[in-house]
Amino acid sequence: MAHSAEDCEIAFNVIAGPDSAEQTTLAHRVSTPVDGRTRFKFGFCKGSFENTQPEVVGNAEEAIRVLESIGTVHEFELPDYPWESAASTLIACEGAAAFQEFIEAGDSHRLTAPEDHVGLYHALAVPAVDYIRALRIRRVGGRAMDAAMVGFDAIVAPTFPHVAPPIDASFSNYFARDERRNVSGVGNLLGLPSITVPTGFGERDLPTGIEFLGRANDEELILAVARAFQIRTDWHKAHPSY
């Protein structure tokens, strides 16, 4: 989390590259050359306006008009895979494995958020077959998504169908599952680079955003897209009226 795309780039440049203590990092830094590009090809995720708050839609439509000033925008159809379900299964299982002792000791009851008291207990009982199926979806879906994104610099969709949650909202209720097409689950499952940027305010003067998703190793390209958007907007500098 950072104030702007430029701030994200600073953080990225610190953490990018090989790490001998982390087996999942690449042996050398890989990136798509950007070389001062100012024109991009965007794919707007089909169906991402379904079940979406009107203020979010309106702000996203205005954002698309900004994107049309720095490139072309085309409709993009996500490959049909259970992205959210697979991502949720892997995240829950790997989280439960990492915090198993903490959970079984009952220490989660000391956490502030009520929903976190029991949040990972269910993951301790997920059948191994479900975890393996999710890994298969990651592998097969990853190939399908990479092929579908050929020719696009970024896939675009509203970050979330509602404005940001108010501080007094229940986290579990506010982030209940929705049926719209989005790119967050795809990025989480496949480990693809993405960045979300502010697009304005909506209900209760709470912010909205759009997300840019790129292909593997396209972090620098996605940052360039976000920078180009924020050069032409000032929502990342704005504050609510209250």
pLDDT tens, position by position, 2-35: 889 999 999 998 888 888 888 878 777 777 767 7
Q: Domains in the chain, ordered, with CATH?
A: 5-13+37-237 (3.90.1300.10)
Give the whole-angstrom CA distance, residue 204 versus residue 241: 10
Give the whole-angstrom CA distance, residue 171 versus residue 161: 15
Measured in whole angstroms, how far is the alpha carbon of residue 200 from the centre of its chain? 18
64 contacts: CB under 8 Å, gap ≥ 6: 44, 73, 156
Residue bearing tokens 């970024």? 154
Give the model's pLDDT for residue 77. Answer: 95
Of the pLDDT bands very low, low, confident and very high (cuts 50, 70, 90), residue 138 is: very high
Cβ atoms of 208 and 201 within 8 Å: the answer is yes
- pLDDT tens digit sequence for 33-90: 677 778 999 999 999 999 899 999 999 999 999 999 999 999 999 999 999 999 999 9
93 contacts: CB under 8 Å, gap ≥ 6: 123, 126, 131, 134
Give the predicted TM-score (pTM) of the model. Answer: 0.90
Question: Tokens at residue 71, please?
Answer: 């490139």
Of the pLDDT bands very low, low, confident and very high (cuts 50, 70, 90), residue 210 is: very high
Of the pLDDT bands very low, low, confident and very high (cuts 50, 70, 90), residue 130 is: very high
